[in-house]
Amino acid sequence: MRVLYVSSELYPLVKAGGLGDVSAALPPALRRVGVDARLFLPGLPAFREGLEDQEPVVSLGAAFGAFEVTVYRGRVPETGVPAYLLDAPELYDRPGGPYVDSEGEEWHDNPRRFALFGWAAARFADGDWRPDVIHAHDWHAGLAPAWLAAQPGWRPPSVFTVHNLAYQGLVPAQRYHELGLPGYFFSVEGLEFHNMASFMKAGLYYADQITTVSPTYAAEIQHPEQGFGLHGLLATRADDLTGILNGVDYAVWDPATDQQLPVAYSVDELAPKAEAKSALQREMGLAVAPDCPLFGVVSRLNEHKGLDLALAAIPDLVAAGAQFVILGSGDPELEAGCQRCAAAYPDEVAFFRGYDEGLAHRVFGGADSLLVPSRTEPCGLTQLYALRYGTLPLVRRVGGLADTVVDASPTALADGTATGFVFGPATVEAFREAAERAIAVYRDPGSWRPMQQRAMTRDFGWEQSAAIYRDMYQRLAPQA
Ligand code: ADP
């Protein structure tokens, strides 16, 4: 089974969110269950520099405003996964992020950059190596299924995975011609969405199979509240839509081997976690207080992530004895809110504005509880990391958070299944109430410690999900 895994992110070379982590971990997991998965990546500078053993394999000539498009074959360092790189210097070779420039503005030529990406993925073959299935990820790769549908004759089946429906890749109608697709694709029965071309809708409409990254999110996106205007289409495709939970790469995320932590600890040797906590308190300039419940946040800061709910509750929770470490960046208003909080409570609240992998690890290790109060959350990875680090997640009951954290209700505490704290409505009150419950349980080590142990032994590794993807590919391409 040969699968072309089309993604514009790959940790640690290019990562804007969870997609980067998933693209780093799922292809090797697929290879371990017998799938010949190979990555297909845009020729961003970090990939040009970071992939090993690159050699040109296919020349595609001039396309989408690029003078010469060439596909290189290389390998991902460490995992050795084969990766094809779509080199088109005019479109990809520039400083800044994969989707936005260094000012945070979308690249003006994104329509052509990602139209080329989908077009090239759909027609790609490397000599004898032809994919049996094309697996496209998020809007960036959404035109691959559309280009496949535009091809006459036989074509490989396609899978489109939604990592986040909130980002859709919308192109104004007057720029539709830049995508190069047939005119009749620009229709309600196609990729038209409120008089725009939607890369996301292209994936959802034309792919043979749709997946998303948790079972609850798969159900939620068929309804208006979480459907971002695409719920109607998704509901009509319900038979082809499944939710497959993301996994964790425990080679990277394990407190027993994590080089970023000042100490190692594990479920059998939990005591050193206290040192990780005091080191984090020192590093962030908080009062070094072993008995204060310390809440961590590692997140993009935007409306979807619900950090405003936490910020509004912080004064009460500080009064109740809690501390907070917030690592993140994003909306200027939320950043300013975090800054104000940290200034108001210098011993209890610390804010690091920015993106810092090492600090993220130290927050997962050093905090007692991780806050993920998202309004929408396709799967969420940070709560999965937190579980493994014995840092009990406090989450909203939405998307993948609902699938992975068991609330410390009286019943779950009694029958020994609780792994965190879950609240329902996206309100400050509901959040505060859950945080107060977390503080109360924290102060009762006879309840907290067994919850930590249970959380740390929950297995969210990739093996199970990889096998589900493999079975899906086999159903789509039984001859492979
Ligand atoms: P999303 O993809 O919506 O951002 P996920 O929870 O799926 O959310 O994935 C987020 C990933 O990005 C996690 O690996 C998390 O640790 C990481 N991350 C988010 N913000 C930061 C930050 N400020 N510094 C370091 N890592 C971060």
Q: What is the DSSP string of 362-402?
A: HHHHH-SEEEE--S--SS-SHHHHHHHTT-EEEEESSHHHH
Q: Which residues lie across from 296 on neighbouring strands?
A: 325, 370
CB 85 within 8 A of CB 43: yes
Is the shortest distance between the CB of 335 and ligand 1 below 6 Å?
no
CB 325 within 8 A of CB 286: yes
Whose CA is closest to atom 16 on ligand 1?
382
Whole-angstrom Cα distance, residue 406 to residue 418? Answer: 5
Ligand 1 center to 21 CA (angstroms): 9
Query: Can you give the pLDDT at residue 217?
Result: 98
Query: Can you give the pLDDT at residue 18?
Result: 87
Ligand 1 center to 434 CA (angstroms): 23
Whole-angstrom Cα distance, residue 159 to residue 121? Answer: 13
Strands 241-243 and 294-301: what pairing?
A: unpaired
Ligand 1 center to 18 CA (angstroms): 6
Whole-angstrom Cα distance, residue 176 to residue 406? Answer: 46
Query: Can you give the pLDDT at residue 263?
Result: 98
Chain Cα centroid distance, residue 166: 12
From the list 367, 358, 357, the residue with the least C-alpha distance to 325 is 367
Q: Which of 300, 301, 304, 357 to probe ligand 1 with, by most ligand atoms within 8 A of CB?
A: 300
Q: Which two tokens stand for residue 233?
A: 């289409």
Ligand 1 center to 355 CA (angstroms): 9
Ligand 1 center to 156 CA (angstroms): 33
Is the shortest distance between the CB of 382 and ligand 1 below 6 Å?
yes
Query: Can you give the pLDDT at residue 104?
Result: 87
| Phi, psi angle pair for 342, to nearest 5° | -65, -35
Query: Can you give the pLDDT at residue 134?
Result: 98
Cα-Cα end-to-end distance for the chain: 5
Q: Which two tokens stand for residue 220?
A: 């939620």
Residues of the chain falling short of pLDDT 50: none
- Indicate if the alpha-carbon torsion angle 474, 477, 479, 480 is positive or negative: negative
Whose CA is closest to atom 14 on ligand 1?
18
Query: Can you give the pLDDT at residue 128?
Result: 87
Amino acid symbol at 55? E
Domain formed by 2-247+462-476, architecture: 3-Layer(aba) Sandwich (3.40)
> Is the pTM of the predicted complex or chain greater than 0.85?
yes
| Phi, psi angle pair for 458, to nearest 5° | -65, 135
Strands 133-137 and 158-162: what pairing?
A: parallel
Instruction: List C-alpha distances in Å: 407 to 223, 412, 437.
Output: 25, 7, 10
Ligand 1 center to 16 CA (angstroms): 8
* Three-state helix/strand/coil letters over 109-137: CHHHHHHHHHHHHHCCCECCECCCEEEEE
Q: Across the beta sheet with 294-301, what order do the strands follow?
A: 349-353, 323-330, 294-301, 369-372, 392-396, 421-423
Is the shortest distance between the CB of 298 and ligand 1 below 6 Å?
yes
Atom of ligand 1 nearest to the CA of 305: 3
Q: Which of 138, 252, 361, 382 to probe ligand 1 with, by most ligand atoms within 8 A of CB?
A: 382
Ligand 1 center to 298 CA (angstroms): 6
Q: Which helix (H) or strand (E) holds 166?
A: none
Query: Can you give the pLDDT at residue 17?
Result: 86
Is the shortest distance between the CB of 214 and ligand 1 below 6 Å?
no
Instruction: List C-alpha distances in Å: 68 to 46, 64, 71, 86, 111.
Output: 20, 10, 10, 11, 18
Q: How many CB atoms within 10 Å of residue 332?
A: 10
Query: Domain extents for the chain?
Result: 2-247+462-476, 273-457
Query: Can you give the pLDDT at residue 67?
Result: 97
Ligand 1 center to 129 CA (angstroms): 34
Query: Can you give the pLDDT at residue 321?
Result: 98
Instruction: List C-alpha distances in Å: 184 to 114, 119, 168, 175, 192.
Output: 20, 17, 20, 15, 10
Amino acid symbol at 67? F
Atom of ligand 1 nearest to the CA of 17: 2
- Indicate if the alpha-carbon torsion angle 24, 26, 31, 36 is positive or negative: negative
Q: Across the beta sheet with 52-63, what order do the strands follow?
A: 52-63, 66-75, 82-87, 36-42, 2-6, 133-137, 158-162, 209-212, 241-243
Q: Where are the beta strands (DSSP E) in 302-449?
A: 323-330, 349-353, 369-372, 392-396, 421-423
Return the CATH fold of 273-457: Rossmann fold (3.40.50)
